[in-house]
């Protein structure tokens, strides 16, 4: 029995800026084959995966047993969603260099105090940044070096040729 699932994805190609591409994911149950069929500019692109491939000697049970659990996967996805906002990325980068107050961040990022405060509250609730109060001034810094390491690794990945 051949089953298929129809879905759409966004594409940012020079030909179609932010176009929606329609795709079908086909699965041949009898032969354990998987095809991704994509229509792009009058060309049909088909990618296949055959479950019976012999290209690896991997013991899949070991991989499956060591997969991250659902709770951790959700927490990781939430963290990556949080880091998916350019304003938050800029705040994290600024705070990785120095402890700053809201006023300092508004000057560095050329943004309003309300927008900065909103993002800082969001980042604080996720334990990405922490605050320290001195008199009436609140200073913000990264909660720990893990976030800074994620940031550094991401930059290195993007700069890698």
The whole-angstrom separation of Cα 149 and Cα 144 is 9
Rounded average pLDDT over 127-152? 93
pTM to 2 decimal places: 0.60
State yes or no: pLDDT of 101 exceeds 70.
yes
Average the pLDDT over 105-116 and give the result: 96
H or E stretch covering 117? helix 113-125
Of all helices (H) and strands (E), which one includes residue 132?
strand 129-134
What pairs with residue 26 in β-bridges? Answer: 4, 35
Q: Which residues pair with 139 in a beta bridge?
A: 101, 132
DSSP state of 31: T
pLDDT-above-70 percentage for the chain: 63
Q: What is the pLDDT of residue 45?
A: 52
Judge residue 105's burial from the number of C-beta atoms within 10 Å of its C-beta, 0-12 exposed, 13-18 middle, 19 or more buried. buried
Average confidence (pLDDT) over 1-14:
44
Mean pLDDT in the chain?
A: 76
The pLDDT of residue 17 is above 60: no
pLDDT per residue as tens digits for the range 45-83: 545 555 555 555 567 778 788 888 999 999 889 888 888
Model confidence pLDDT, tens digit, residues 20-39: 445 554 444 554 554 455 55
d(CA 86, CA 88): 5
Give the integer Cα–Cα distance in Å for 50 and 28.
Answer: 10
Q: If you compute the radius of gyration of the chain from its CA atoms, what whole number of angstroms results?
A: 23
**Across the strands, what pairs with 5?**
25
């Amino acid at each position: 029995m051949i089953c298929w699932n129809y879905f759409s994805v966004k594409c940012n190609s020079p030909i179609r800026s932010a176009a929606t591409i329609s795709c079908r994911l086909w699965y041949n149950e009898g032969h354990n084959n998987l095809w991704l069929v994509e229509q792009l500019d009058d060309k049909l692109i088909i990618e296949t995966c055959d479950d019976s491939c012999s290209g690896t000697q991997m013991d899949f049970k070991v991989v499956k047993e060591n997969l991250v659990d659902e709770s951790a996967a959700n927490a990781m996805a939430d963290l990556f969603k949080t880091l998916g906002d350019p304003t938050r990325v800029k705040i994290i980068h600024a705070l990785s260099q120095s402890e700053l107050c809201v006023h300092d961040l508004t000057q560095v990022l050329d943004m309003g105090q309300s927008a900065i405060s909103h993002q800082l509250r969001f980042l604080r609730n996720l334990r990405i940044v922490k605050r320290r109060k001195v008199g009436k001034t609140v200073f913000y810094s990264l909660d720990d070096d893990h976030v800074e390491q994620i940031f550094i690794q991401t930059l290195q990945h993007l700069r890698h040729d």
